[in-house]
Amino acid sequence: MSQENVERIRATFEAFIAGNRDFGAGLLHPDVEWDASEFEVPGVGGVYRGPASVRQFWREWLSAWETVQFEYQVVDAGDSVVVLLDQWMRGRSTGIELPLGKYAHIYTFRDGLVVHWKVYMSQSQALEAVGLSE
């Protein structure tokens, strides 16, 4: 099942790159929790519960950016999938480019759907959290 989860996450990222901004549609468990408490962006941190809340977070976040670009690597971590990101954005109203830098997401699955999703501002901490190291 872990390879299927890796492919689900990879397909979601590729859909986002292709322009589908309904990030995670069809991939979120009814009990999903998006833990953005470690996000080092003012006004963004917190924990969001349920697919509607998670999608609302992403709609609001993405509405601020003219472009969101990133490079990513997907890592199989057994019951979880780690995505290592290096991201930069351009503000919609300012045109200012902002590097978010290197950070990571951990996705935990239940019944083939993401039930827990957490952001780590440190890639090494994310890898350690799933028992891996850089």
Q: Write down all domains in the chain, each with its CATH number in brackets.
A: 2-123 (3.10.450.50)
Q: Could you tell me the pTM of the whole model?
A: 0.90
Residue-level pLDDT, tens digit, the chain, 134 residues: 589 999 999 999 998 888 887 766 789 999 999 999 987 666 677 899 999 999 888 888 888 889 999 999 999 998 899 999 999 999 999 999 989 889 999 999 999 999 999 999 999 999 999 999 76
b/e burial code for range 57-87 (CB count within 10 A of at least 16 → b): bbeebeeeeeebebebebbebeebbbbbbee
- Using alpha carbons only, give the angle 131, 81, 86 rounded to the nearest 5 degrees: 95
